[in-house]
Amino acid sequence: MKLSSVLLTVFAFSATGLADKTCTPSFDYCASDLTKSKGFTENDLKDALKGSGFENEDINNILFHCKNPGIVGHPKVCKGGCKSSGQEGSHNC
């Protein structure tokens, strides 16, 4: 195998790992949307809550803000549970 083929293969595997989590910056998402269709895991979302004061909240009651593709933060608690809007990004509780 040529060195270029090896490098291309390594790059493809690396890129695949980076592209797993996606979200549209400046949009808000319910945890269910992020775990069902955006590649995030429940642990990813719990990690995003660390230091926010919402670590013990049910993630299904949290609206997450997409800061960059693959990075969520700025959580907001939705009293009645977060409800998906059916469109890209929830935008509110």
Can you tell me the distance from the alpha carbon of 68 to that of 70, in angstroms, rounded to the nearest whole number? 6
pLDDT of res. 48: 96
pLDDT of res. 84: 86
pTM, rounded to two decimals:
0.75
> Would residue 90 count as lying in a domain?
yes
The stretches in the chain having pLDDT less than 50 are 1-18
> Would residue 57 count as lying in a domain?
yes
Instruction: Mention every residue, 6+ apart, whose C-beta is less than 8 A from residue 88.
Output: 24, 27
> Would residue 4 count as lying in a domain?
no
> Would residue 1 count as lying in a domain?
no
> Would residue 59 count as lying in a domain?
yes
What's the total number of domains in the chain?
Answer: 1
pLDDT of res. 10: 34
Report which secondary-structure segment, H or E, holds 62: strand 62-68
Range of the domain at 78: 21-93
Q: Please return the burial class of 58, using the count of CB atoms within 10 Å of its CB with bins 0-12, 13-18 and 19+.
A: exposed
> Would residue 10 count as lying in a domain?
no
pLDDT of res. 71: 95
> Would residue 13 count as lying in a domain?
no
> Would residue 40 count as lying in a domain?
yes
pLDDT of res. 46: 96
Instruction: Mention every residue, 6+ apart, whose C-beta is less than 8 A from residue 67.
Output: 25, 73, 74
